[in-house]
Amino acid sequence: MSDTESIAPLEPIAPHGGALVDLMGDPDALATEAANLPKLAISTRELSDLEMLATGALSPLTGFQGEHDYRSVIETMHLESGLAWAIPVVLSVSDEDRHRIGGADSIALADAEGSDPLAVLRVSEVFPRDKVTEAAKVYGTEDGEHPGVKAVYQAGDVCLAGTIEMIRLPAHDNFVEYRLTPAQTRSEFKERGWRTVVGFQTRNPIHRAHEYIQKCALEIVDGLLVHPLVGATKSDDVPPDVRMRCYEALFEGYYPKDRAMVSVFPAAMRYAGPREAIWHAICRKNYGCTHFIVGRDHAGVGSYYGTYEAQELFEEFEPDELGIMPLKFEHSFWCERCEGMASPKTCPHGEAERVSLSGTKVREMLRAGDRPPQEFSRPEVADILIEAMRGH
């Protein structure tokens, strides 16, 4: 290899399926058309999916999935085309809405607050949602107490499939400067000269354990994208605005600004554990990440999934099927003897030497206004969480 070749920039990672989807249409023409179409108000969760479809975060999907893809994803974790895909992306409607819409071949989609139409759906198919099979296969349980399964059960019984033409993206009044589309994160990475980027999914404040994992990953790549999910989560998760203040404090004090950035991931949380980990990785590939951190119990909830089940599921795919490299981490902690952050992989010492606190214990301390030890949580982060809990 010549010198010129070795310093020439590599091509950025290809989006899933090869091309980044962009569903933005002609806003004026579509708005005029939409004014005369039956209107459907969609749920917050579906609104998140719509935004992800629109911007190409769900490339190669160009709309809500039809029955063949839906069945194929549920049964085989692949689209009908053979491309890997782990979570169905469908639009459910109630019987009442279905009758109101009738046999319309185009409908206008709006948010639940009755906004002006956001998109036009070209309806190609109407099919029944097989909720119990979907729950069992995708979530590994039919238990209606599981928050993801509960959302499936509460959705309408019939799905409308078809391609989307966007009039405009859903409006947001929070995290505006952090709402980068896949095209925008890709261009940001390019500008920063990052050829390899690791993505970190989170729906929690970041304590020392996750900071350590991110920084271990960053040691081997050019850049880090902390990509908090800000779509719907369960009500006892820490609200996204509080989390965002924690990330900002952490970045301010402890992260190199030319090597790390925060942007938000508009998806709603499914809590589908292993399957969602695969899906999260594919989405981050679309955002331009080459590597993806998979920790313990990724996207899990309660005791529905084994600790390393998400990591293991990656083994069921050929590496080129996903195209993004999973980086698997064990749980980490501060070890008094090692005098540093470590994991069972790197530290030979026993529990007694390790600073580890349960989630319940941490919440108890924060609620009482006590900072957890600084080996567990950065004081700036602890203070934000204490302050937030005081407000409740």
**Residues tagged active-site:** 203-204
Nearest distance from C-beta of residue 342 to Zn ion, angstroms: 5
Q: Can you spell out the DSSP letters for 309-328?
A: HHHHHGGGS-HHHH-SEEEE
Rounded Cα distance, 248 and 254, in Å: 10
347 contacts Zn ion (rule: CB under 5 A): yes
Q: Which is nearer to Zn ion, 31 or 338 (CB)?
A: 338
CB 322 within 8 Å of CB 280:
no
- Kindly indicate which of the ranges 78-86, 207-215, 234-242, 348-356 contains the residues binding Zn ion, using the contact rule CB under 5 A: 348-356
Min separation Cβ 352 and Zn ion, Å: 11
Q: How far is the CB of 348 from Zn ion (least distance, A)?
A: 6
Q: Alpha-carbon distance 376 to 357, whole Å?
A: 8
Amino acid (one-letter) located at 270: R
Residue 14 or 338: which CB sits closer to Zn ion? 338
Among residues 268, 282, 119, 295, the alpha carbon closest in space to that of 207 is found at 295
> Helices (H), strands (E): how many in the chain?
15, 14
Tokens of 41: 């108000």
Q: What are phi and psi of 293, to 5 degrees?
A: -80, 125
Closest to Zn ion by CB, 349 or 367? 349
Sheet arrangement for strand 325-328? 260-262, 223-228, 197-202, 291-294, 325-328
Could you say which residues in the range 315-344 bind Zn ion, by CB under 5 A?
Answer: 335, 337-338
What is the size of the binding site for Zn ion (CB under 5 A)? 5
Nearer to Zn ion (CB atom), residue 189 or residue 334: 334
> Quick one: which segment of 69-77, 223-231, 347-355, 369-377 binds Zn ion (CB under 5 A)?
347-355
| Residues in contact with Zn ion, shown as a per-residue x/- string from 283 to 322 under the rule CB under 5 A | ----------------------------------------
Q: Which is nearer to Zn ion, 208 or 285 (CB)?
A: 208
- Do 292 and 22 contact (CB within 8 A), yes or no? no
- Choice between 216 and 338, CB closer to Zn ion: 338
Token pair in block for residue 231: 């779509």
Does position 234 interact with Zn ion (CB under 5 A)? The reply is no
User: Smallest distance from the beta carbon of 328 to Zn ion, in angstroms?
Assistant: 21
Q: Pattern of binders to Zn ion over 107-146, x per CB under 5 A? A: ----------------------------------------
CB closer to Zn ion out of 255 and 334? 334
The whole-angstrom separation of Cα 27 and Cα 122 is: 16
Binds Zn ion (CB under 5 A): choice among 349, 361, 367, 390: 349
- Which listed range, 28-36, 87-95, 300-308, 346-354, lies at the site for Zn ion (CB under 5 A)? 346-354
We find the least distance from the C-beta atom of residue 374 to Zn ion, in angstroms, to be: 17
In whole angstroms, how close is the CB of 46 to Zn ion at the nearest point?
47
What whole-number distance in Å separates Cα of residue 205 and Cα of residue 62? 33
From 283-291, 293-301, 311-319, 349-357, span contacting Zn ion (CB under 5 A)? 349-357
The one-letter code for the residue type at 211 is: E
CA distance 358 to 211: 17
Residue 345 beta carbon to Zn ion: minimum distance, rounded to whole angstroms: 11
| E strand or H helix that includes residue 164 | strand 158-166
* Residue (282 or 335) nearer to Zn ion, CB: 335
Residue 336 beta carbon to Zn ion: minimum distance, rounded to whole angstroms: 7
Three-state secondary structure of 63-130: EECCHHHHHHHHHHCECCCCCECCCCCCEEECHHHHHHHCCCCEEEEEECCCCCCCEEEEEEEEEECC
Q: Which residues in the 202-231 window bind Zn ion by CB under 5 A?
A: none
**Residues pairing with 226 in the sheet:** 200, 262
Residues at the contact surface with Zn ion, assessed by CB under 5 A: 335, 337-338, 347, 349
